[in-house]
Copies of this chain bind each other. A is one copy, B any other.
Amino acid sequence: MKNDKKLSELGEFGLISRIASGVSSSGSVITGIGDDAAVTVSTPGMQLVTSTDMLLEDVHFRRCWHDPYRLGRKSLAVSISDIAAMGAHPRWALLSLAIPADLPLTFLDDFTSGFLAMAAEHGVALIGGDTCSSRSGLAISVTIMGEQFPNYILRRSGAKPGDEIWTTGSLGDAALGLKLLEVDSDFPGSEGQVGCGDKVNQYLCSRLLDPSPRVLVGLALAESGLVSSMIDISDGILADFGHIAEQSGVGGCLRLDDLPFSPAFRLIGDKLPLFPYQLSLTGGEDYELCFTASPESRGEIAECTKKCGVEATPVGIVTSFPEISVVRSDGTSYGLQTKGFNHFT
């Protein structure tokens, strides 16, 4: 697909054809890219589950950190993660790009390859989008549509006092990866060079730059019937469990010593002054799933997630008192500086 053509030579419709040429066909897609709208067939009995995300250059990503292939993957992954959090099957995606004049066509080719690779991994068909010129940075908008039978769909609103709070995978890796990339001079271990040099750093950075949406485990948890509420962790477990708490009319208590860390996080995080809780509680972009379930289901839940190749850890308890606290193993309360990312504030 690569050559030395410029976007200005290719034009808007040439670019759309170029993107469409990489899209594989799907039985559920009647009309894909190239008409006023896409036409798709839903699975009888399933409800439609839809989400959209916008990613802006220098707000959500930097071109100096995010190579185009992984940026393409991530642009879709963060949306797929929302479908995973509903316990639904991701199906169709739309991709809009506002493209600055200086963006090389090879960047767009690599971005598209990454996007379509992520789509293929999760059985998602790219069915449409929009392209236009941008006077500032690259802007990416992705809409994802999924499906699930009504009884299986998981929301933020079902948590009950006494339920356990769980998370899949490990927390804080992406936030620590970001710290490595920021090459903060105060940050031990980075020594003024761009991070991601060795394997440990590479793992942490890849958690930020190439997240894996937890689709299979989300589906398995939904279809197990054991889970009362679910959300994906994009702004830190504290903020995201906070959404569950708010919409369920409950509170929660997170146990500091039970938060799951990756070996890489422990290795690097040990050098952090605030090690390691701050990042794991409030760091963004983990794209793990946080969910709640009755303590009686602990064994079944662990088995269910293990079958999907994902560890899950109970990290707290849902309370009736509508506040969220974090406690150490000695029972004392852990104070926090921030509560996760919030645009505008």
Contact = CB atoms under 8 A, between A and B. Distances in A.
B52 A130 contact: yes
Contact of A36 (B12, B59, B232): B232
Given A59-B134, A136-B135, A86 B50 contact: no
A231 interface: yes
Given A36-B82, A86-B39, A56 B135 contact: yes
A132 B60 contact: yes
A326 interface: no
A12 B54 contact: no
Interface string A144-184: 11100010010111000000000000000000000000000
12 contacts: A11-B343, A15-B344, A31-B155, A34-B156, A36-B86, A38-B51, A39-B86, A54-B141, A56-B135, A56-B139, A133-B343, A136-B137
Q: How many copies does the complex hold?
A: 2
Interface string A306-345: 0000000000000000000000000000000000001111
A284 B157 CA distance: 45
The size class of the interface chain A forms with chain B is: 35 or more
Given A35-B86, A98-B59, A135-B56, A345 B11 contact: yes
Given A12-B344, A82-B37, A83-B37, A50 B136 contact: no
Contact of A98 (B92, B94, B139, B345): B139
The 9 A-B residue pairs with the shortest CB-CB distance in the complex, in nearest-first order: A136-B136, A37-B51, A141-B141, A36-B85, A143-B143, A12-B343, A36-B82, A54-B96, A52-B94
Interface in A116-142: 127-137, 139, 141
A282 B9 CA distance: 21
Nearest to A97: B54
Interface stretch (A41-49, A200-208, A261-269): A41-49
Contacts of A139: 54, 56, 98, 139
Interface in A248-270: none
**Which of A39, A40, A133, A145 is packed against the most chain B CB atoms within 10 Å?**
A39
A222 interface: no
Nearest to A56: B98
Contacts of A60: 132
A37 B50 contact: yes
A151 to B, nearest CB: 12
Contacts of A128: 50-52
Contacts of A51: 36-38, 94, 128
A37 B139 CA distance: 21
Contacts of A145: 48, 50, 145
B58 A135 contact: yes
